[in-house]
Chains A and B, each alone.
Chain A
Amino acid sequence: DAGITQSPRHKVTETGTPVTLRCHQTENHRYMYWYRQDPGHGLRLIHYSYGVKDTDKGEVSDGYSVSRSKTEDFLLTLESATSSQTSVYFCAIGGVQTQYFGPGTRLLVL
């Protein structure tokens, strides 16, 4: 799987708590992405990074923040989780358009 790991793989949390998801790559790719996938909506881009400390918003960035202090790690933070953020989160790495996806993190916000 192109050297991408996500942690945790499953998480249950309560509304209002902060949550951080980690994406780690061993491929030294410049670009990293966070998507969420929900029934009826398909995959939607949350944030992406084009280098260390360089990030930008995707189409559904409200309620999420990201950080990238090292090439290999891209963190997604839900500052105060809400039930609408229950989803499967995928990290991806890659070049311009050819992206390689991680195994996903299933997040349940109660």
Chain B
Amino acid sequence: DAKTTQPPSMDCAEGRAANLPCNHSTISGNEYVYWYRQIHSQGPQYIIHGLKNNETNEMASLIITEDRKSSTLILPHATLRDTAVYYCIVVGGGSNYKLTFGKGTLLTVNP
């Protein structure tokens, strides 16, 4: 699976949009981009995933560049409860069922 690069930490003001970047320049054609987050002391939580089109759900939006070498997770109106470590993971679309979690980005939402 392709390696991902994320900033170690980011800050965001409550109520503002949080934009979390992820670089995955070695991604291959059948690999998906997945985002999970982990709130302190809890298990990771699935957020969203995509292949090449932008995706939106009730939690977030995922913007994938046309060349698929990077993506951005957008939390449109961040709240204090969104403070967490956010993981960007690239996973093969075949029979690879294993998620490899890197260090992620610690997003701190400030009041």
Question: Using a CB–CB distance below 8 Å, which chain A residues touch chain B?
Answer: 1, 31, 42-45, 48, 50, 58, 90, 92, 94, 96-104
Tell me which of B34, B99, B102 has the highest count of chain A C-beta atoms within 10 A of its own C-beta: B99
List 10 extra interface pairs beyond A98-B34, A104-B43, CB under 8 A.
A42-B104, A43-B101, A48-B98, A92-B43, A97-B91, A97-B99, A99-B44, A101-B43, A101-B44, A101-B45
B103 at the interface (CB under 8 A from A): yes
Residues of A within 8 A of B100 (CB): 45
SS class, residues of chain A in contact with chain B: strand
Question: Using a CB–CB distance below 8 Å, which chain B residues touch chain A?
Answer: 32, 34, 41-46, 49, 91, 97-104
Question: Which of B41, B46, B103 interacts with A99 by CB under 8 Å?
Answer: B46
Given A45-B98, A97-B91: A103 and B46 interface contact (C-beta under 8 Å): no
